[in-house]
Structure 1
């Protein structure tokens, strides 16, 4: 047990080094000002980092499943350190191009995903009877990363963007290396011997107990399985082409894609929300030009910290709540996604309505909470539905889901911000229309949140009908 606890603690610490992409909005406006970048370019760069995180998921998952956690953690340490070093040098020289910055953020995203895939599966295997809680620990650390890094920077180098970027090139790598000896799979837990504990996956009063590894692609409807005459893998775990023919998988793909995409739009753009509300004279009646830049960066860091803390809470609580729903109340874990959708819906309404930087904390808190519940719930949902033997690969495929949606929402935000902006005397883009700089983007994401709630409810109802028939 002592070794398992040590593994879980180190998974938490390494997880702090995996979530640094979500602190992007704390330094993105300063980077844009230093290098004369438009808001659309800044949104694009954030999406490139997200692209690196998303597309690496299946590859990193395969490496973790086959080789264990050590190699992915080393890759994560090298990639994140190199990426932030390139960004730091570009900022320092005031001579960074969009392609160079895009490459740097891409490898930061790649490194983050390799490290994260390793710590999530290590935590899940360390505590197989409490997988919901165990996976929520590194998930929570991932969400807490931005708060941890921004707080550390505020204490050591307040208002110093160059020092902040230097810190980002050192601290995540150090966490990875320090935790490397303690992050391991349990003895005897190879990819061939991993088995799942029985779980109850049905609604209360209509359930029966079945092994999570036996929940195949027919979890959605009987005809969602492979064609007649084909068979699943001998272990009963679902992966590969069988997974891609599952209606349940694609339903979750859409739910997670839209829900996470909505969150990522605000996470990568909240720094611009701060500047827009200040520039519109809606805070204390001041124009942005009259406010100390260090104070602006502090306000941005506060929003990042609020997002990070609420995401941490959502990720940590969702793991325990999902176990409570499944084991005690015999309810589907998907109900947590309905809750996340409702919280996100409230956040989009606030994003459209709030016209003072003093009330921006509400959007940040609700966005972080919904985002944290989404990512804290889904690893266990994936393990229950498709088994643990190929968990990292399956989770990596599902993690691709926010890519296109997040790109669309982020570019939409950048587009609305740019068309409402004017050039100042130094040739920089400034928007002085307050919330009107970006509020149209929140109209679109509000509709997305409604879609998430409806689809999650459809998944629950369809699963309930199928369980009654069986």
Structure 2
């Protein structure tokens, strides 16, 4: 293993570490009911707090993407570690009534954690996109799978090791902050070997038009001919206002807007759905039972999201490299799962015992969607402005 491979390995391990704690915004349903009951918040107020976390995730992304592209992922990730520690610590102190119990302040704290989660995600995604050109779908899908799995990890820890929300929130603050800060030390972009850089430059300047047809017919996974110029080496460079005038970009924005919103709507409100169905059933009321149901469904969504993310990367690589199928097809496949989940919730679910099938469909669809969308973004519009471009797409999901 040469020096570059060692650096790539260390960098990728740091990416995996950061991704494990960058999905804390999916945890809201785990502690939302406890906060609502202890601080006497109304349903509107607790939903406002949960929405603030999502606004932090999405609204901060274009700015964070710009900083990652221009100042490096390490600085953004380290700043995110401080912000996520501060946000969850303040929320914990508010829950314990040490800080003022204002729902607006709680919303502000969770807005911080949303921005921090976004900062960690864009840092490791941008680094991955720039470090890996071939099999990029697989390289990106693994940390995205761990991001989806982070809610499962934390919810299981809460179920088995914590009896109160205060210490659980402090645990999130310390672990997420430490993992992000430590991982940021090794979050670096590894330059491509010199002969690859020379090939790219030569192809960009002299050979693109001459070899255009040959490039289109050459498989992306070319193992034998290092002099062949392929799509992984010559990529588009679209960013800024040019992105919003691109037809492919507009199509992708519309897909994400319509698909992602349905998934987030269910994920953020599954706690309220569970409580409503549980109280409507003939089962005697039990807070412990509701906590276990919350943990089960959050874990189920997280596991299914992880499965969807980790499978769609290699499958989309195979579909593209060997069957010449666009990754857009994978995005539409995600829409099928999300549509089925919402349709079942509307027409079929009338009891708490039936809700698992909805959580499964929503989790798989959400995982497939965000497992392949970043790879699609980097391939269609280039990796140079990937941080900004991807976060523009994510921010517009708020529509």
Instruction: Give the CA deviation at 1:393.
Output: 0.7
SS of residue paired to 1:354: coil
Name the CA shift for 1:294/1:160 in 2 (closer, same or farther; >3 Å).
farther
- State the alpha-carbon separation in 2 of the partners of residues 214 and 331 from structure 1: 19
1:324 to 318, 325, 328: 318
- State the alpha-carbon separation in 1 of the partners of residues 233 and 350 from structure 2: 49
Alignment of 1:184-223 (within 5 A): 184-187=188-191, 208=217, 211=231
1:310-329 CA-to-partner distances (Å, cap 9, x unmatched) read 11111111111111111011
- State the alpha-carbon separation in 1 of the partners of residues 314 and 9 from structure 2: 17
**Do structure 1's residue 297 and structure 2's residue 297 form an aligned pair?**
no
Provide the residue aligned with 2:223 in structure 1.
none
RMSD: 2.2
Instruction: Give the CA deviation at 1:82.
Output: 0.6
- State the alpha-carbon separation in 1 of the partners of residues 147 and 101 from structure 2: 28
- State the alpha-carbon separation in 1 of the partners of residues 91 and 309 from structure 2: 29
Provide the residue aligned with 2:253 in structure 1.
253
**Do structure 1's residue 108 and structure 2's residue 113 form an aligned pair?**
yes
Provide the residue aligned with 1:58 in structure 2.
62
Provide the residue aligned with 2:152 in structure 1.
147
SS of residue paired to 1:70: helix
Provide the residue aligned with 2:241 in structure 1.
241
Alignment of 1:361-380 (within 5 A): 361-380=356-375
1:165 to 164, 169, 183: 169
- State the alpha-carbon separation in 1 of the partners of residues 364 and 261 from structure 2: 14
Alignment of 1:359-398 (within 5 A): 359-398=354-393
Contact 1:143 1:309 in 2 (8 A): yes
Instruction: Give the CA deviation at 1:351.
Output: 1.2
Provide the residue aligned with 2:161 in structure 1.
156
- State the alpha-carbon separation in 1 of the partners of residues 353 and 182 from structure 2: 39
Instruction: Give the CA deviation at 1:166.
Output: 1.5
Instruction: Give the CA deviation at 1:35.
Output: 1.6
Contact 1:124 1:135 in 2 (8 A): yes
Instruction: Give the CA deviation at 1:401.
Output: 2.3
TM-score after normalising by structure 2: 0.87
Provide the residue aligned with 1:74 in structure 2.
78
* Residues matched between the structures, number: 366
- State the alpha-carbon separation in 1 of the partners of residues 9 and 307 from structure 2: 20
Provide the residue aligned with 2:264 in structure 1.
264
2:138 to 133, 151, 157: 133
Alignment of 1:307-346 (within 5 A): 307-346=301-340
SS of residue paired to 1:93: coil
1:62-95 CA-to-partner distances (Å, cap 9, x unmatched) read 1111122210111110111111111111111185
Q: Which has the higher helix share?
A: 2
- State the alpha-carbon separation in 1 of the partners of residues 87 and 288 from structure 2: 25
Which runs of no fewer than 5 residues in structure 1 stay unpaired?
199-206, 216-235, 405-470
Instruction: Give the CA deviation at 1:2.
Output: 2.9
Contact 2:131 2:191 in 1 (8 A): no
Contact 1:213 1:385 in 2 (8 A): no
SS of residue paired to 2:188: coil
Instruction: Give the CA deviation at 1:208.
Output: 4.7
SS of residue paired to 2:157: helix
Contact 1:153 1:167 in 2 (8 A): no
SS of residue paired to 1:52: helix
SS of residue paired to 2:41: coil
Alignment of 1:35-46 (within 5 A): 35-46=39-50
Contact 2:61 2:391 in 1 (8 A): yes
**Do structure 1's residue 7 and structure 2's residue 11 form an aligned pair?**
yes
Contact 1:257 1:401 in 2 (8 A): yes
**Do structure 1's residue 20 and structure 2's residue 14 form an aligned pair?**
no
Instruction: Give the CA deviation at 1:286.
Output: 2.0
